[in-house]
Amino acid sequence: MNYRAPRGTHDIFGEDAAKMSWLEQKARDIFKKHGFEEVRTPIFEESSLFIRSVGQPTDIVEKEMYTFEDKKGRKLALRPEGTTSLVRAFIEHKMDVLMPVSKFFYAGEMFRYERPQSGRYRQFHQIGAEFFCVSSPVADAEIILLACDLLDFVGINEMEARFDNGHFFEMKVHLNSLGCRKCRHVLREKLVEYLISLSNLCENCLRRLVKNPLRILDCKTDSYKFTEIPQLSSYLCDECKHDFDLLKSLLEVAKCDYVVDNKLVRGLDYYTKTVFEICCSDILSSINSSTPIKDAVNCYDQNFKPYYIKARRMNKDLNRRITLAAGGRYDNLVKDLSGQDTPAVGFALGSERVLIVAEKFGSPEFYKSFRKFEKVYVAIADQELFKEAFSFAVKIARNGLKNSKDISVFGPINDKSLTWQLKFADKIGARKTIIFVKTEFKKGKVLVKNMENKVQTEASICEL
């Protein structure tokens, strides 16, 4: 029997693993600069926790949760998202009582039973942050800007500049307010009124009309019908309206490019007031070419070879955009999960998707930044120098070479010819091969072969 990774999962190795670690490390650095502390929660929790927080009538709980019973019959679920576990930990460790303000982040695997598609897996990675105890929109603004900063670091904003000032490619914050406990029902009624006026909604939508009408706006089948959704923000109560206006002005001060998006409701039950998504144009359906095209953007593949992409023009249709990060405020969740009444706001981004976009529009900087370690191969032309070469390899792995500290050392492998070793060095993408040859070694020297231009020079061992 041939074993394969379970459907919808994948092994991440080679450069993909390096990219994933690089993204998470960048995120850690940025979060720390903004005063966020890392939390690592278990990857499974009691299923009832997610049912209560995410909400029963959501796709996540209805269809996508990986649930199982352990040997004692406890009903558990692999975490489908990060916020719930973090809130549970926040309450369990009494951080709602101990700390006036708490800022946390996480990075790790999430699990959802979904139909696998490009860039979407059943085990996937998210990076997210949660800001507790501040009800002012200052916290919302900080969370949104933090998410934008992270995407900037990956080079997404730089892509926008290369794309003729966003003519083809655009990253934008889509923003909406869902209201608080006081005004939410008004928004809901207005929306239901509008939805009832539409004819021929699909079966799914009709079912949601009662249980979760906000969720209908996400329906892929019916979305084209939702052309005149009532301006929900005009039904907000005074407090919610004030907060929404203040948030918008804070984003303007920070020069953050946002748009109020009436259709944006986010599928989860726990959101209150602010919800947002950071989206970019659906560039995954763009055309590639190795010759310049008019109005195209110059990208680079992983070998820094240029290629050109002509992307779709920004499409007004909301289904034609890709969500890179999303989040919102959830002022009732901590209390709903039996904690103190604690306002909170957070976001999460999908690592796989962000990396696909970053790679598709790769710049040399993107590839250089995660390929930090230069590969060096230590080879032997004469078998009797094996131990000397071995001890040299250990030494440079520990201390680096004089001119490059960040190296990744391979070899030596004995019992193989020099030709075999050089071929292998090429295969792993070594930048240089250091060759131990008897005649040179007697003079305290080795040969250094530049694997790109194949030029070979002599170097003294103690100077390397």
* Contact set with Zn ion (CB under 5 A): 179-180, 182-183, 202, 205, 219, 221-222, 237, 240
The two structure tokens encoding residue 323: 């969500």
CB of 263 to Zn ion, least distance (A): 14
| Contact between 209 and 215 (Cβ < 8 Å) | no
Q: Which is nearer to Zn ion, 95 or 205 (CB)?
A: 205
CB of 221 to Zn ion, least distance (A): 5
Per the listing, tokens 């008004």 go with 186
CB of 338 to Zn ion, least distance (A): 24
The two structure tokens encoding residue 388: 């000397």
CB of 281 to Zn ion, least distance (A): 25
CB of 187 to Zn ion, least distance (A): 9
In angstroms, rounded to a whole number, what is the distance separating the alpha carbons of residues 168 and 156? 13
The two structure tokens encoding residue 279: 């989206």
Q: Which is nearer to Zn ion, 204 or 369 (CB)?
A: 204
The two structure tokens encoding residue 244: 């929404």
Q: Which is nearer to Zn ion, 240 or 389 (CB)?
A: 240
Q: What share of the chain is helix, strand, coil (3-state, %, to 5)?
A: 40, 25, 35
Residues, the chain = 464
Q: Which is nearer to Zn ion, 221 or 417 (CB)?
A: 221
Please, what sign has the CA dihedral across residues 191, 205, 218, 143?
positive
In angstroms, rounded to a whole number, what is the distance separating the alpha carbons of residues 99 and 276? 27
**For helices 203-211 and 184-197, what crossing angle results, to 10°?**
150
Q: Which is nearer to Zn ion, 222 or 336 (CB)?
A: 222
Q: Which is nearer to Zn ion, 5 or 206 (CB)?
A: 206
CB of 241 to Zn ion, least distance (A): 8
CB of 135 to Zn ion, least distance (A): 12
Q: What are the Cα distances from residue 221, in Å, to 37, 246, 420?
A: 41, 35, 58
CB of 124 to Zn ion, least distance (A): 25
The two structure tokens encoding residue 173: 């914050």
Alpha helix ranges (H) inside 277-322: none
Task: Report which of 265, 55, 237, 297 is spatially closest to residue 178, judged by C-alpha positions.
Answer: 265
Q: Which is nearer to Zn ion, 271 or 308 (CB)?
A: 271
Alpha helix ranges (H) inside 63-136: 83-92, 95-98
